[in-house]
Amino acid sequence: MKLKTLLVLILVCCVIQKAQSQKTLNRILFIFDCSNSMQARWESGTRMDVAKRFISHLMDSIAAINDNEVEVALRLYGHSKGFPPQDCNDTRLVVPFGKGNIPKIKRIIQGLRPMGTTPIAVSLEKAAEDFPPCKNCRNLIVLITDGIEECGGDPCAVSEQLQTAGIAIRPFVIGIGLDAQQRNSVECIGRFLDATREEDFRRVLNLVITMALEKTTFQLNLLDSAQLPSESDVAFTVYDQKSQKVVMRMMHTLGSRGVPDTLPGDPLITYRVAIHSIPEVEIRDVVLAPGKHNVIATPLPRGRLAIRTDKLIGYKEVRCLLRNSNREIINIQDINSDCRVLSGTYDLEILTNPPYRTSVVIKPAEITSVQVPVAGVLSFQAVATGYGSILDQNGRRVVDLDESVTRHTVPLQPGKYTLVFRPKAARDIFFSVTRDFEITSGNTTLLKIN
């Protein structure tokens, strides 16, 4: 008993350690504007002086957070070459990501002075290289600028590329004293936060960090026909809608109280949720509110489709194709099986000889049964190998015979058919032979051609 308890404790410890090792690391890259315009007067000093003071305070706040939860890095632009002349390559990662690097960032920030131009697009492009490979990291960019792109680049397009590639979440853009026209030109880069006054700048800096680190949760409610979240037991995938990367892939579950499980979420990501039902259901543009539990709901009223035959005579297997109104195949299942399908009208094709086709109406919380007639069997003996086809009573081809054998056993649905056959050795069309025959359920029809 003691050994069993010890083993359980060891297992629990391993699980805890694994969970801790998989904890997400938030990496925040600050891209800071050191262009010549930052020497303009603000309320209590230059824009640069005010920004340095508040960023320094912000770094102190970040330093109080566990290093295992957040790391920061600093990229500057317009910091080393005077303006004029214009140097559009004046951007550099001055402090890379790492533990305990905040004192260095503070020292560098305190020594900065406004100098150059504003190459925002190039800085964002270079930022793609600032994030070392990491399997469990959440990458964020905070761009602080008092101006717009001055080097002819397209920072909005570069930001889109960063997000689509999954390198970073949609950037934060803090605009210092921008007019309306300037704001319009940088809002497309990311989440724009306006800092018209000094107090605004302090507030939005704190807001960015709060939003960057704040966690949230959500549950996925799958609604039945009565709009109750009772549907469950279906796989679903949550994607980052921008990068299309898989965030999580799980089997939907209702807990012991009949409530969907609570899942962790990120308020900075726009999600796409794919529910792998028949047919699939997609929810796009899902944004979670920070700091509270979110509910994502979508209708998923399902019934059950049961396809049956009393005996499977002559077939090794029979596949059944379910099609939507656009004739697209949305599911393939075996005969004598059932599956859950969204309510609606569908076309069903059962691959017997010939195919058994029917329309089915699936109703919520009900079973729709399709009974397929039991097949019969054609037993055909030829004196030699040859070419042959079986046609239905409307003259449509049902199946071709195996030209390498003389004895044929073919399962067919009940009905009237015609066999058309010619031996391989016969090189004249008039050696073709036709025979009419009928198949009844569960019986074998013998046919012989001399």
User: Is the domain of 273 the same as that of 149?
Assistant: no
Q: Of the candidates 299, 321, 338, which is a domain's last residue? A: 299
User: Is the domain of 292 the same as that of 328?
Assistant: no
Q: Give dist(CA 332, CA 347) in Å, integer.
A: 12
Handedness of CA 396, 398, 403, 407 (dihedral sign): negative
User: Is the domain of 325 the same as that of 281?
Assistant: no
For residue 158, is it left (φ>0), alpha (ψ between -120 and 50) or beta? alpha
Query: Which residues have CB under 8 Å from 79's CB, separation 6+?
Result: 34, 90, 92, 94, 112, 115, 116
Residue with tokens 């539990």: 293
* 4 within a domain of the structure (yes/no): no
Residue at 226: amino acid letter: A
Q: Give dist(CA 174, CA 337) in Å, integer.
A: 59
* 9 within a domain of the structure (yes/no): no
* 346 within a domain of the structure (yes/no): yes
Q: How many CA atoms lie within 13 A of 153 on its CB side?
A: 23
* 2 within a domain of the structure (yes/no): no
User: Is the domain of 85 the same as that of 172?
Assistant: yes
Q: Give dist(CA 324, CA 312) in Å, integer.
A: 27
User: Is the domain of 58 the same as that of 72?
Assistant: yes
User: Is the domain of 41 the same as that of 140?
Assistant: yes
Q: Residue 428: give its domain's CATH number.
A: 2.60.40.1120
> What pLDDT score does 44 carry?
83
Nearest to 368 by CA among 416, 306, 279, 325: 306
User: Is the domain of 96 the same as that of 186?
Assistant: yes
User: Is the domain of 155 the same as that of 267?
Assistant: no
Asked if omega into 279 is within 30° of 0 (cis), the reply is: yes
Burial of 208 (0-12, 13-18, 19+ CB in 10 A): buried
Locate 245 and state its tokens.
């990367």
> What pLDDT score does 14 carry?
45
- How many domains, the chain? 4
User: Is the domain of 100 the same as that of 158?
Assistant: yes
Q: Give dist(CA 403, CA 418) in Å, integer.
A: 17
3-state secondary structure 344-357: EEEEEEECCCCCEE
Residue 207 to residues 200, 212, 249, 407, 432, Cα–Cα distance (Å): 10, 8, 31, 81, 86
Q: Of the candidates 299, 323, 341, which is a domain's last residue? A: 299
DSSP at 325: T
* 207 within a domain of the structure (yes/no): yes
Q: Of the candidates 239, 264, 299, which is a domain's last residue? A: 299
User: Is the domain of 248 the same as that of 135?
Assistant: no
Q: Residue 315: give its domain's CATH number.
A: 2.60.40.10
User: Is the domain of 282 the same as that of 352?
Assistant: no
User: Is the domain of 256 the same as that of 383?
Assistant: no
What radius of gyration do the chain's Cα atoms show? Answer: 34
Q: Give dist(CA 384, CA 283) in Å, integer.
A: 61
Q: Give dist(CA 81, CA 118) in Å, integer.
A: 11
Beta strands in 146-201 (DSSP E): 172-176, 191-195
Handedness of CA 422, 426, 428, 430 (dihedral sign): negative
Cross-strand bridge partners of residue 372: none
Query: Which residues have CB under 8 Å from 7's CB, separation 6+?
Result: none
Q: Residue 135: give its domain's CATH number.
A: 3.40.50.410
**Pairing, β 263-265 against β 270-275:** unpaired
> What pLDDT score does 45 carry?
86
> What pLDDT score does 16 carry?
40
* 5 within a domain of the structure (yes/no): no
> What pLDDT score does 69 carry?
86
Q: Give dist(CA 220, CA 295) in Å, integer.
A: 6
* 3 within a domain of the structure (yes/no): no
Listing DSSP states for 263-294 in one string gives EEE-TTSEEEEEE-SSS-EEEEEEEPPTTSEE
Domain containing 246: what range?
A: 216-299
> What pLDDT score does 22 carry?
58
Q: Give dist(CA 171, CA 139) in Å, integer.
A: 9
Q: Which residues of the chain have pLDDT under 50?
A: 1, 4-21
> What pLDDT score does 402 carry?
96
Q: Give dist(CA 427, CA 291) in Å, integer.
A: 83
Nearest-5° Cα angle at 304, 301 to 310: 170
Q: Give dist(CA 422, CA 320) in Å, integer.
A: 33
Q: Give dist(CA 195, CA 201) in Å, integer.
A: 5
User: What global pTM score does this model have?
Assistant: 0.81
Nearest to 98 by CA among 72, 117, 124: 72
* 14 within a domain of the structure (yes/no): no
